[in-house]
Amino acid sequence: MAPPPPGGGGPGGAPPPPARALVRRGVRDLTKFCLFPARFLYTAATGHVGRNEAAADWYIAGNRPAAELVASAIRWRTEGCEPEPAARAVAEHLPALYREFIDDYRPRLSVLGEHGLSDRLADWGRRLPVPGRATQGAHHSCGK
Using one digit for the tens of pLDDT, what is the confidence trace for 57-90? 999 999 999 999 999 999 999 999 999 999 999 9
Average pLDDT of the residues in 104-113: 96
How many angstroms separate the CA atoms of 87 and 14, rounded?
A: 9
Cα Rg of the chain (Å, integer) = 15
Nearest to 97 by CA among 132, 66, 125: 66
* Maximum distance among all Cα pairs of the chain, rounded to whole angstroms: 46
Average pLDDT of the residues in 2-21: 63
> Does residue 8 or residue 23 have the better pLDDT?
23
**This prediction's pTM:** 0.80
How many angstroms separate the CA atoms of 19 and 23, rounded?
A: 6
pLDDT for residue 13: 60
Nearest to 92 by CA among 65, 114, 127, 63: 65
